[in-house]
Chain A
Amino acid sequence: MNKPFVEFSNLTIEYPSRDGPVVALAGVDLAFSAGDFVCIVGPSGCGKTTLMQTLAGFLAPTRGRVALAGKPITGPGPDRGVVFQQPALFPWMTVSENAGFGPMVRGLRRERREKVEYYLKLVGLWDFRNRYPYQLSGGMQQRLAIVRALVNDPKVLLMDEPFGALDALTREKMQEELHSVWRRTSMTVVFITHSVEEAVYLGTDVVVMSPRPGRILERLCVDFSRRTGERDDIRSIKASPEFVATREHVLGLIWASAD
Chain B
Amino acid sequence: MMDTPNRSRDAASFLLVRPRWLSLLSVLAAFGAWWGITTFALVPAVLLPSPAEVAAAAVDILRNGYRETTLAENIGSTLWRCGAGFLLAIVTGVPLGLAMGYWPRIRAATNYIVQFMRPLPPLSYVILLIIWIGTDNRSKIALLYITAFPIIASSAMAGVRSVSQQRVQAARALGASQWQVFRYVIWPSAMPLSFTGARIALAAAFSTVVAAELNAATDGLGWMVISASRFLRNDVIILGIILLGILGIALSALVLAIDRRVVHWRGIE
Which single residue of chain B is at the shortest CB-CB distance from A56?
A: B2
A contact face: mostly helix, strand, loop, or mixed = loop
Chain B residues near A58 (CB, 8 Å)?
A: 2-3
Chain B residues near A59 (CB, 8 Å)?
A: 2-5
Chain A residues near B166 (CB, 8 Å)?
A: none
CA distance A15 to B8 in the complex (A): 12
Chain A residues near B3 (CB, 8 Å)?
A: 58-60
Q: Is the CB of A62 within 8 A of B5?
A: yes
Chain B residues near A75 (CB, 8 Å)?
A: 1-2
A99 to chain B, nearest CB (A): 25
Interface string of B1-28 (1 = CB under 8 A from A): 1111110000000000000000000000
Interface residues on B, range: under 10
CA distance A74 to B1 in the complex (A): 8
Q: Is A139 an interface residue (CB 8 A)?
A: no
List A1-24 residues whose CB lies under 8 Å from chain B.
Answer: 13-16, 21
Count of A-B residue pairs with CB < 8 Å:
25
A13 to chain B, nearest CB (A): 6
Which single residue of chain B is at the shortest CB-CB distance from A50?
A: B5
Interface residues on A, range: 10 to 19
Q: Is the CB of A74 within 8 A of B2?
A: yes
B13 to chain A, nearest CB (A): 13
CA distance A16 to B6 in the complex (A): 6
Which single residue of chain A is at the shortest CB-CB distance from B6?
A: A16
A227 to chain B, nearest CB (A): 39
Q: Is the CB of A13 within 8 A of B5?
A: yes
CA distance A122 to B5 in the complex (A): 39
Chain A residues near B2 (CB, 8 Å)?
A: 57-60, 74-76
Chain A residues near B5 (CB, 8 Å)?
A: 13-16, 59-60, 62
Which single residue of chain B is at the shortest CB-CB distance from A75?
A: B2
Q: Is the CB of A62 within 8 A of B6?
A: yes
A72 to chain B, nearest CB (A): 11
Chain B residues near A16 (CB, 8 Å)?
A: 5-6
Chain B residues near A62 (CB, 8 Å)?
A: 4-6
Chain A residues near B4 (CB, 8 Å)?
A: 59-60, 62
A132 to chain B, nearest CB (A): 25
| Most-contacted residue by chain A among B1, B2, B5, B6 (CB, 10 A) | B5
Interface string of A39-77 (1 = CB under 8 A from B): 000000000000000000111101000000000001110
A22 to chain B, nearest CB (A): 9
CA distance A16 to B7 in the complex (A): 9
Chain A residues near B1 (CB, 8 Å)?
A: 75
Which single residue of chain B is at the shortest CB-CB distance from A57?
A: B2
CA distance A207 to B4 in the complex (A): 25
CA distance A14 to B7 in the complex (A): 11
CA distance A74 to B3 in the complex (A): 10
CA distance A16 to B5 in the complex (A): 7
Q: 16 extra interchain contacts, Cβ-Cβ under 8 A, other than A15-B5, A57-B2, A75-B1?
A: A13-B5, A14-B6, A16-B5, A16-B6, A21-B6, A58-B2, A58-B3, A59-B2, A59-B4, A60-B3, A60-B5, A62-B4, A62-B5, A74-B2, A75-B2, A76-B2
Selected A-B contacts with CB under 8 Å, 17 pairs: A13-B5, A14-B5, A14-B6, A15-B5, A21-B6, A58-B2, A58-B3, A59-B3, A59-B4, A60-B3, A60-B4, A60-B5, A62-B4, A62-B5, A62-B6, A74-B2, A75-B1
3 smallest CB-CB distances across A and B, nearest first, come from A60-B4, A75-B2, A15-B5
